[in-house]
């Protein structure tokens, strides 16, 4: 796993956006996996800027989001579909029919999840998956204890996640208790993983994910099993990393290598 430490959220977001944009330029029909939450907002802002100012073209891109709350329709302001429309889709030229966010309101969740997995396969698999990390070490809504082989399914959120996400709702009681989430196994099949982590409250989880054992108790630790995973972190989230100096040394030395 590559660890790239930047000073600020803004620098972190721009560095991660450059990686995504490079793939879009080299493969215009690429499949992009997306996350919601505070972590990737700056990354999406930068992609929107690149579209506006540099003509980055999303007209052939297909997207798949990691997760959605059960019970919230797409026009609910706290739904992840709504979040994606507001923070990315309406700022770039992606055809709406190319965007997939799991449905939280399907009559048959199990059948929907099977369809979602099949649709990812039909589109050729995910080229780049953007990820955030929960303060309990989750990726998507794969809470501690989720199997590292898990697939898209309905999950029950932990109290910690409900507390963390209550800031977006009027009342904590309004936070949904369940979500549809891609599994850890689904995420590991993406060809490239790009995680963004920022803020002090992520430091402990990030250190466990990067430097601790691979365990279903910290589902982000599964990134250690992936051949092409990069974590972009700001200085605060990097605060718990024991090998921080070494990661910074690797980045410095990489600049001295001839470009491959």
Q: Where are the alpha helices (H) located in the chain, listed in sequence order?
A: 9-26, 41-54, 80-87, 109-122, 159-165, 184-188, 203-211, 244-256
Annotation marks residue 67 as catalytic: yes
Between the two ends of the chain, the Cα-to-Cα distance in Å is: 19
Distance from C-alpha of 87 to C-alpha of 58, rounded to nearest angstrom: 15
What residue ranges in 66-206 does DSSP mark as E strands?
A: 67-69, 99-100, 128-131, 153-156, 178-181, 192-197
Distance from C-alpha of 79 to C-alpha of 57, rounded to nearest angstrom: 26
Q: Tokens 């966010």 identify what position?
A: 101
By CB under 6 A, name the one of 39, 62, 103, 152 that touches ligand F6R. 39
Q: How far is the CB of 133 from ligand F6R (least distance, A)?
A: 6
Distance from C-alpha of 44 to C-alpha of 104, rounded to nearest angstrom: 23
Q: Where are the alpha helices (H) located in 193-243, listed in sequence order?
A: 203-211
The residue (of 39 and 150) whose beta carbon lies closer to ligand F6R is 39
Annotation marks residue 143 as catalytic: yes
The residue (of 51 and 138) whose beta carbon lies closer to ligand F6R is 138
The residue (of 61 and 206) whose beta carbon lies closer to ligand F6R is 206
Rg (CA), the chain: 17
Candidate list 136, 164, 234, 236, residue with the active-site label:
136
The residue (of 48 and 184) whose beta carbon lies closer to ligand F6R is 184
Q: How far is the CB of 154 from ligand F6R (least distance, A)?
A: 15
By CB under 6 A, name the one of 9, 33, 37, 50 that touches ligand F6R. 37
Distance from C-alpha of 58 to C-alpha of 182, rounded to nearest angstrom: 23
Annotation marks residue 60 as catalytic: no
Examine residue 36 and tell whether it contacts ligand F6R (CB under 6 A). yes
Stretch that binds ligand F6R, among 34-42, 210-218, 229-237, 246-254 (CB under 6 A): 34-42
Quick note: the x/- pattern for ligand F6R over 131-150, rule CB under 6 A, is -xxx---xxx----------
The residue (of 10 and 248) whose beta carbon lies closer to ligand F6R is 10
Examine residue 176 and tell whether it contacts ligand F6R (CB under 6 A). no
- Catalytic residue annotation: 67, 136, 138, 143
Residue numbers at the binding site for ligand F6R (CB under 6 A): 35-39, 66-67, 132-134, 138-140
């Amino acid at each position: 796993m590559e660890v790239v430490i930047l000073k600020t959220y803004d620098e972190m977001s721009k560095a991660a956006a450059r990686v995504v944009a490079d793939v879009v330029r080299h493969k215009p029909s690429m499949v992009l996996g997306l996350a919601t939450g505070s972590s990737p907002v700056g990354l999406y802002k930068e992609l929107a800027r690149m579209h506006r100012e540099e003509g980055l073209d999303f007209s052939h891109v297909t997207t798949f989001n990691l997760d959605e709350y059960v019970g919230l329709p797409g026009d609910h302001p706290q739904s992840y579909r709504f979040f994606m429309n507001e923070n990315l889709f309406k700022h770039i030229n992606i055809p709406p029919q190319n965007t997939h966010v799991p449905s939280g309101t399907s009559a048959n969740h199990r059948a929907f999840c099977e369809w979602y997995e099949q649709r990812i396969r039909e589109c050729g698999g995910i080229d780049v998956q953007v990820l955030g990390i929960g303060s309990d070490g989750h990726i998507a809504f794969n809470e501690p204890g989720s199997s590292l082989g898990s697939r898209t399914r309905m999950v029950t959120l932990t109290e910690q996640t409900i507390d963390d996400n209550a800031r977006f709702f009027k009342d904590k009681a309004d936070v949904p208790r369940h979500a549809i989430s891609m599994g850890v196994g689904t995420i590991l099949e993406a060809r490239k993983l790009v995680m963004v982590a920022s803020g002090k409250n992520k430091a402990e989880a990030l250190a466990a994910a990067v430097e601790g054992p691979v365990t279903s108790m910290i589902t982000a630790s599964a990134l250690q099993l992936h051949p092409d995973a990069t974590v972009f972190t700001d200085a605060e989230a990097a605060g718990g990393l024991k090998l921080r100096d070494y990661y910074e040394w690797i980045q410095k030395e990489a600049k001295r290598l001839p470009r491959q």
